[in-house]
Amino acid sequence: MLAIGMVRGKSGVHAFDLPKPEISQTDEVLVQVQEVGVDGTDFNMIKHNLQDIAEGHDEIVMGHEMVGVVEAVGRKVKSVAPGDTVVMTVRRGCGQCQPCLHNQSDMCMTGLYTERGIHKRDGFFTEFVVDQEQYVVKVPADLVKLAVFTEPLSIAEKGVEQIRLIQSRLPWACEHPDHTFSSSDWGRCRTALVIGAGPLGILATALLRLAEVHTYVADIVPEDSPKAHLIKHMGANYIDTRNKIPKEIVDFCCSTSGNVDIMFEASGAASTAIELINYMSRSSIYIMTGIPREEFVLQVDAAQLVRQIVRYNQVVVGSVNSNRSHFEMALKDIPAINSRFGGMLEEMITHRFKLEDYQKIFTLSDPKQIKTVVDV
């Protein structure tokens, strides 16, 4: 069967042939891949030739945002059956640490995990895949068309979950007892700045807006770009930061409430990400999800930075990957996002390619590109 990915020692993206996988354990599921989303990680792998191929192998199948249909299941599989539409998580645990042993490999303690399509394990740019039931999540029949957003939305879900978990240290942040971070109305009376209006920034904004967070989104595209349009469509404010320094961006966000309670970094632009720490509000949280790929050395006033973080009770937290629980949260929120913001998820898919046209996926240069989906 056709597979698309990277080949050891060669740059760029390549096609190769793989045998169709088979079920060999009683808890395994054989899935026919239908759609795979492409994201910044995939583009960066090709652009920076980030080959992370398992020892003893000469290639890695790329693609980690998948939707498929179950073709067969092992004897012990209960939660899915042939014909079901499913999505699969990305990370596979180390098998040693307690988080991984409890299907929370996104928090792996040893670093010995693998990731399908990214880190030492084949991904989903191919026709069939086999995996254990614990990594396979059933998609409700009415969500099949939007299920390709489950994985990227799960990353935003984990980020928002971290914010709510950590900020529940602040039960009296506003005058309304029912606006605590653990309540369903947690976003009211809160202001957020999202940095980056790529798919992750847009999906994080969708979750923040669903919770009624007053949200600003910063990026370097013009006000009339499709990304900015989507941001405004969700009732968030778009800031074109091309001629703004970080202080001006934060001052603008503070103009309504005086505080920025949440910063959500989803751009991977290292210098802005670090510089913005200087402008965090008191008792606020800054969550980082973007991963910079190039080196960037910056001079900072370390004493001032530490002084501020201590005196203002600030939290800077990283959030990577996601686990099954975040996939389940995403599948609950996809219909809410799509009905509240009128088809915006469909609007995010700007390009579709067939798997055979894999060269076009990575040579595409269109400023209007938001989400590319590959039809297998």
The distance of closest approach from Cβ of residue 2 to Zn ion in the complex, given in angstroms and rounded to an integer, is 32
92 binds Zn ion (CB under 5 A): no
179 binds Zn ion (CB under 5 A): yes
Pick between residue 170 and residue 174 the one whose CB is nearest to Zn ion: 174
Token pair of 34 as six digits: 């239908």
Taking the alpha carbons at both ends of the chain, their separation in whole angstroms is 11
> Which stretch in 161-169, 175-183, 219-227, 338-346 sits in contact with Zn ion by CB under 5 A?
175-183
Pick between residue 110 and residue 256 the one whose CB is nearest to Zn ion: 110
Pick between residue 92 and residue 227 the one whose CB is nearest to Zn ion: 92
189 binds Zn ion (CB under 5 A): yes
# residues contacting Zn ion (CB under 5 A): 9
Quick one: which of 147, 138, 155 has its CA closest to 200? 155
Q: How far is CA 97 from the centre of its chain?
A: 24
23 binds Zn ion (CB under 5 A): no
The distance of closest approach from Cβ of residue 114 to Zn ion in the complex, given in angstroms and rounded to an integer, is 10
The one among 3, 100, 208, 234 contacting Zn ion by CB under 5 A: 100
The one among 18, 72, 144, 174 contacting Zn ion by CB under 5 A: 174
Quick one: which of 14, 6, 114 has its CA closest to 60? 6
Pick between residue 158 and residue 179 the one whose CB is nearest to Zn ion: 179
Quick one: CA dihedral 296, 301, 307, 312, positive or negative?
Answer: negative
The distance of closest approach from Cβ of residue 108 to Zn ion in the complex, given in angstroms and rounded to an integer, is 3
94 binds Zn ion (CB under 5 A): yes
> Which stretch in 33-41, 104-112, 236-244, 285-293 sits in contact with Zn ion by CB under 5 A?
104-112
170 binds Zn ion (CB under 5 A): no
> Which stretch in 26-34, 179-187, 328-336, 365-373 sits in contact with Zn ion by CB under 5 A?
179-187
Residues that bind Zn ion (CB under 5 A): 94, 97, 100, 108, 110, 174, 176, 179, 189
